Structure 1
């Protein structure tokens, strides 16, 4: 059994020294179903993708550490500080983007799952958003996959039940589109549907 990881919360530019570790975890974990992310040949792409967290003074990264090694990471920032591709669906629905704190990556190595780290990631990010004092909602989006996709691993269970228990509701039709290199397919546009909860109801 893996050791219980240490949970550490970082804000804004304090994330910088850990950016490469988060990038490596993204590549390793998102290669799994349902993202099937094939990564990029150039590591600079991953760092550039994550640099948005350094540009936002109110961003957060929650790390799971085992003996100083990063085994999990979870990120977030004000949605208004994120690229327009993510805020556009909420703007179209009439939600005030300035009141939404957006949760980005949440990646954890397989050996550390089932130890409560997923709950810790949500607890820490929600606490960070609440402490900022100006957000009504927390939100994230998850990739949509067909239930009968032949690439779906046998026995796979989605995180939907976990997210519902955390108080999040899926918002059908509120969808962002994002391209990435998919395993064995090359670059593909992917739909990601938003999940939302009112922050004032957070525990």
Structure 2
């Protein structure tokens, strides 16, 4: 795969709704894999993604190969996120109005290794800094057991990549999100742990 064959788009606020179908399909494809094991539906995804189109300061950066979205990343003011995402920061006494939340950072397997993961962080951090009113960025990741039966033998978590980007894992900041795992009949709660970085110096 050649990077020069790819095209990029940026959208904010209500503009993001125009690519809901593409983004929903990509999220379902990528989150199907461990550690998320997400059994998603386009209808559910499009309903969830409305938080981005309803936030005037939300941002999407996406990668296309032809007319197919092959990678995407999003961010949004934490104040515009769901209650379960805001709760750990509210409980910790943080000023959520100073925090920008980074959503998904997803890329199909065959497009990895091209530096797009770094590009995703660059784009989101640049967007968050453009407001002058945010001091912290954060994102969360699912915390699966090391002995999970679906864990591939060659699985490597993204922790080292995130640390190199300057993010620190904060075990005290925990949320729980509910979704349907592949092969299950009922949704179950998953532990989500947050990673944070100060915006100064970025």
TM-score (norm 2): 0.95
Q: State the 4+ residue runs in structure 1 displaced beyond 4 angstroms.
A: none
What is the rounded CA distance, in whole Å, between the counterparts of 2:2 and 2:174 in structure 1?
36
Is the partner of 1:75 in helix, strand or coil?
strand
Rounded to whole Å, the distance in 1 between the matches of 2:67 and 2:36 is: 27
Task: Report the number of matched residues.
Answer: 200
Unaligned segments of structure 2, at least 5 residues: none
Trace 1:1-203 onto structure 2 (pairs within 5 A).
Answer: 1-4=1-4, 5-40=6-41, 43-185=42-184, 186-202=186-202
- Contact between 1:3 and 1:66, CA under 8 Å: does it hold in 2? no
TM-score (norm 1): 0.95
CA distance 1:138–1:78, change in 2 (3 Å)? same
Give, in angstroms, the shift of residue 188 of structure 1.
0.9
Deviation, 1:155, is: 1.0
CA distance in 2, matches of 1:137, 1:20: 30
**Over the residues paired in the alignment, what is the CA RMSD in angstroms?**
1.1
Question: Distance in 1 between the 2:43 and 2:70 partners?
Answer: 21
Deviation at 1:3, TM superposition (A): 4.0
- Aligned residues of 1:7 and 1:62 also touching (Cα < 8 A): yes
Unaligned runs of 5+ in 1: none
> Equivalents in 2 of 1:133, 1:106: separation in Å?
23
- Report if aligned partners of 1:169, 1:197 keep a CA contact under 8 Å in 2: yes
